[in-house]
Chain A
Amino acid sequence: MNLTVRIYFFEILKGLRITIRHLFRNLLNWDEMPTIEYPDEQRKIPLRTRGLHRLLQRPDGEPRCVACMMCATACPANCITIEAKESDNSQVEKMPEKFDIDLLRCVFCGYCEEACPCDAIRMDTGVYSITGYRRKDMVIGIDKLLAGKGMPGSWPDDLLPKTLPGLKSSL
């Protein structure tokens, strides 16, 4: 350290200059401050952010999920519980009767999305603040996972379409 640094006094003045610069910059550009008023304002998150899950529907309103258990198998946190039942649609063998995701266990790794052969589960809702008063509030079932049923806000547009392997376009 050279002498001016060791005297320390001038370094203090430098520091004071930095803080007062921040003060005036923020006072003059109040709306450009990096801090946002969080609950009122939400930060714009990237499109690919893995947020809360959702189950997609076919045009006829049935879930796309065919209860193949791929996602539950891929899940490293074992947070997906699926019970299958026979589907009414003659072209589809099974459909989920129960599809529970324990959000307290979920690590938001996105493996379920990747494992899904039908593009039935996605994490593109953009909801990253997930709260509940009780443990059971944090386990969400098929009714909540299906788009628009008791989930907050409207889903973002389908901006990242995936191909639907094994599914005909008529479905």
Chain B
Amino acid sequence: MTDLQIQILTSLVKVIAVPLTLFTLVPVMVWVERRGSAVIQDRRGPNRAPVFGFTLFGFPHLAADAIKFFTKESFTPANASRLLYTLAPTMVLIPSIVAFAVIPFADDILLSTSASPLVGSLGADGALQLGGGLVIPMAVARLDGGLLFAFAVGSLGVLGIIVAGWSSGSKYPLISAVRTASQMVSYELILGLSALGIVVVYQSLEPNAIAQNQGTTFLDIIPKWGILIQPLAFVLFLVAGFAECNRNPFDLPESESELVAGYHTEYSGMKFSMFFMAEYIAMMTMSGLIVTLFIGGWQVPWFSTDALRTILFKILGSAQIAVLATAVCQLFWFALKSAFFLWLFVWVRWTLPRFRYDQLMDLSWKVLLPLGILNLTVTTFILGLLAFA
């Protein structure tokens, strides 16, 4: 195969595998949410859908839910604007998946091809020297302005929510749409502003470059992750991220106690489940972003890509296998870090009550925005001093 063919093939694999993984993880997250909430609240959680007598910790409930969603009537209210009402769930679901495209889940791998075979040997300093090989980025898309792309596409999801609320032809979804619009505008700002701190520090908008820059350590002990360089930005990003995903304590768009179910009140069956999946996939994308920007992305703590490759080369003896095994290690660590933040989403949801609407707005404009500007100012000032010195 030529290099071009290999590139097309690997791109296809990534394009199919990444969304598939995200979709597969949705039921797992639903299970974590249900069982986690139950155990936090001293309950046992759903465990009553036996398959041949085995309840399997409540996993069969997810299959039962899926069957229910597929077979349920997809009802359209008489007042609804039919075209937009049908389109809205897609408009929410697609951006949440697409935004994941730029998030790197491992460092670039090198593939040995006939045109440029990958050769590796141990150098004089004991480090692995790699030559040749085709560079394959381990993200669906490698964009120079990848972070901008993630934020731009991520904020498109709001449009779907507003369209859903508007086209339902019902009071509560409309109120929810209005709320969503202003909440998203407010928190999108904080999200961008806090990410800007990281961008300024690492001088890049490319997620993989940002992750690569977090590979070193302070004093050989503490991994030099973004959270240590930009702690305030991390807190701001986390809070804004929760608001962006419409998760508690910022789930005003679907606040059940006031708005029935918010923008998806009038939706049923598969259309509702698309909103549902979009919420969880947005959480995964947000976790991936947080990890990439602040927790070192795919970095294995204390082991840079080169160090890992050297160690694995010594064990396995083949440059190609060492490179691939390194990517697997990094993928595992990326998944582990993301899993922690996904759990944090669940954990916070079952800890905090919902904000009142004016509190939400106050928090955004009177607290987080000034803090974000302060953070950016101080960061640029210090960087300027360092450049001067």
Contacts and interface: CB of A to CB of B under 8 A. Distances in A.
Contacts of B377: none
A26 B36 CA distance: 11
Interface residues of B, number: 14
B348 interface: yes
A9 B235 contact: yes
A165 interface: no
Given A9-B235, A33-B44, A37-B44, A27 B347 contact: no
B39 A20 contact: no
B72 interface: no
Interface string A24-64: 00110000011101000000000000000000000000000
Contacts of B40: 19-20, 22-23, 26
Contact of A16 (B41, B42, B43, B351): B351
Contact of B351 (A15, A26, A27, A33): A15
A79 to B, nearest CB: 35
A37 B46 CA distance: 11
Contacts, number: 36
B352 A12 contact: yes
Nearest to B359: A8
A123 B36 CA distance: 40
* A-side interface mostly: helix
Interface string B35-69: 01001111110010000000000000000000000
Contacts of A35: 42-44
Given A23-B36, A26-B39, A27-B39, A16 B44 contact: no
Given A9-B235, A12-B352, A15-B352, A26 B347 contact: no
Nearest to A9: B235
A80 to B, nearest CB: 38
Contacts of A130: none
Interface footprint category on A: 10 to 19
A16 B36 CA distance: 13
Please indicate which of the listed interface residues B41, B350, B351 has the most CB atoms of chain A within 10 Å of its own CB. B351
A131 B226 CA distance: 60
B51 to A, nearest CB: 18
Contacts of B352: 12, 15
A3 interface: no
Given A9-B235, A12-B352, A34 B347 contact: no
Contacts of A27: 39
Nearest to A12: B352
B237 to A, nearest CB: 14
B42 A33 contact: yes
A20 B43 contact: no
A18 interface: yes
A35 B41 CA distance: 10
Interface of A: 9, 12, 15-16, 18-20, 22-23, 26-27, 33-35, 37
Interface of B: 36, 39-44, 47, 235, 347-348, 350-352
9 contacts: A15-B352, A16-B347, A19-B347, A20-B40, A23-B36, A23-B39, A34-B42, A35-B44, A37-B44
> Which 6 pairs across A and B sit closest by C-beta, in order of nearness?
A19-B351, A15-B351, A26-B39, A19-B40, A35-B43, A23-B40
Given A26-B39, A33-B42, 5 more contacts: A9-B235, A20-B347, A22-B41, A23-B39, A26-B42
